[in-house]
Structure 1
């Protein structure tokens, strides 16, 4: 294949990846008329989380002790998400600050990376322990339900981020 064709294809592929990433970022953080998770009020997020936890508890038929461990896991995940969230405005504002000038602010990006890494290292062990405590409290058939759920859907959001079939 000629060099110019290879370069053209590489350029088109790179532009596609960049545009796909930006559109996914926009979809996850809300578009005009379609609010993302970060645009909901704290009360709406809390209500959604409570509904989600109740659904998990119902599907797995959790007892009171297991529900308490699930609540601890959810609180730990929320704390880690907040620690990773960064400055007011969240990831979108951080990205906008990196590209607000004529060139990408690599120094600020490195600082953000270090901050996120530090937050992950600090809160990671608590998250691992909370997940381990919850999972280990499950009966073998409940653990199998969790494994089946993840295998069936390819993870919490399915393959490539789409929702899998509801059961």
Structure 2
């Protein structure tokens, strides 16, 4: 792996770890509901419907989008399923008068290994979905990303 890619990945995961720890207290979405497996499945369906409608996806494209969603959910479950819940993990890092740097590094290493293990499947699913889009649909995706809005806004 190229050094700049490795640094970027570790920086991103480090930031994710810190933000995840800080936001662990906010384990509910803005409607006050927790993110149970049922809620994730519900949101998966809504996201696929919304993206399918905005991009006017055909059946084959919808299937590729569903595979991508399933890979992302599997990675999320693997991420969350490792050890204790994020709040407990973060509380362990700040339980003493000094931040547990070694514990944080070990946690980061564990999460990085998880992402590196599942990452190729996520990348393959994303590539399969994106490559199945026609040029106009790809343009819509790029424009949506340029506007920095999620699929539910704007």
TM-score, length-scaled by structure 2: 0.75
- Decide which of 32, 36, 42 is 1:35's aligned counterpart: 32
Say whether residues 1:52 and 2:47 are aligned partners.
yes
C-alpha distance in 2 between matches for 1:27 and 1:35 = 12
1:151 and 1:28 map into 2 onto residues whose CA distance is 28
1:156 CA displacement: 3.8
Deviation, structure 1 residue 107: 2.1
The whole-number CA distance in structure 2 between the counterparts of 1:128 and 1:26 is 27
1:64 positional shift: 0.8
* Distance of 2:125 and 2:100 partners within structure 1: 36
CA separation in 2, counterparts of 1:58 and 1:28?
31
1:122 to 2:117 alignment: yes
Q: CA deviation at 1:138?
A: 0.3
Deviating more after overlay: 54-63 vs 76-85? 76-85
1:100 partnered with 2:98: no
The equivalent of 2:73 in structure 1 is 78
**Hey, what does 1:146 align to over in structure 2?**
141
Select the structure with the greater relative contact order (CA < 8 A; seq sep ≥ 6).
2
Q: Once superposed, what is the RMSD of the aligned Cα atoms?
A: 2.8
Match of 1:3 in 2: none
Deviations 1:3-23 (A, max 9, x none): xxxxxxxxxxxxxxxxxx69x
